[in-house]
Amino acid sequence: MPLILETIVTTLSPAGELHLVPFGLIGEEDGYVLAPFRPSPTIVNLETNPCFAASSPRDIRVIAGTVTGRRDWPTVACDAIAGRRLADSFGHAEFEVAAVEDHEVRPRFRGRMVHSAAHAPFIGYNRAQAAVLEAAVLSTRLHMLEPEKVLTEMAYLAIAVGKTAGPREREAWGWIEDKVAAALGPEARILGRDDR
C-alpha cells in the first residue's frame, strides 16, 4: 500500500473560483499523485489549470467541515503557482501537474513540487484529531459500507474524542456525528451534545 498524506487540496476553476477539499496525496518515489474519482470539480480544474496546493491544516475542523458542507475557510495566495492555499496550516506545498494517467473512473494527476514552506511549529499528536480525521473519511463512505461497520468504527473513534479532545475537536466530531446520524439514524450519535 502506498503512503497517503491527508491534506487540504486547493485548485482553481476555469472561472478562477477556488475549490477546497480534503484529499489524500498518494506518495510515490518521484512525487505525489492526486487521484480523484469522476465526476469531480478537481478534475475539471486540473484539466484547465494544471496546478494545485496541498496544506496540512492546524485545525481539524477544516477537514471535518469540508466533508460536511463547510468549505469557507480562509486562504492566502500561493507563492509559486497561480492559486490559493489554506491560511492556517502547519505547512503547505505547491505542485504543477507533470503528467496525467487518464482513466474512466479515477485519473491520476502526478504533481511536481515547485514550492513548500512551514508556517507553524508542530509539537505533538492528538488522538482526538486522528479520530476526527478517520471519522471524516468514514463519513464519505456511508454509501459503500454496512451501517453496522460504520457504527462500530464511530463507537471506537469516540473513545479518543471523549478522552483527549479540546473544543475544536469536539465541534468537528459533532459535525461528523450529525452527518452520520442523518444517514443512519440517531443511534449513530455516540457522544451526546452535552458531551461536546
Where do the domains of the chain lie, and which CATH numbers do they carry? 3-118 (2.30.110.10), 127-195 (no CATH)
Using a cut of 0.75, tell me whether the model's pTM lies above it: yes
Tell me phi and psi for residue 34, to 5 degrees: -100, 130
**Location of C-alpha cell 452535552:** 194
pLDDT over 70 percentage in the chain: 97
pLDDT score recorded for residue 31: 87
Question: In this structure, how many other beta carbons lie within 10 angstroms of the beta carbon of residue 53?
Answer: 30
pLDDT digits (tens, 9 = 90+) for 111-170: 999 999 999 999 999 999 999 999 999 999 999 999 999 999 999 999 999 999 999 999
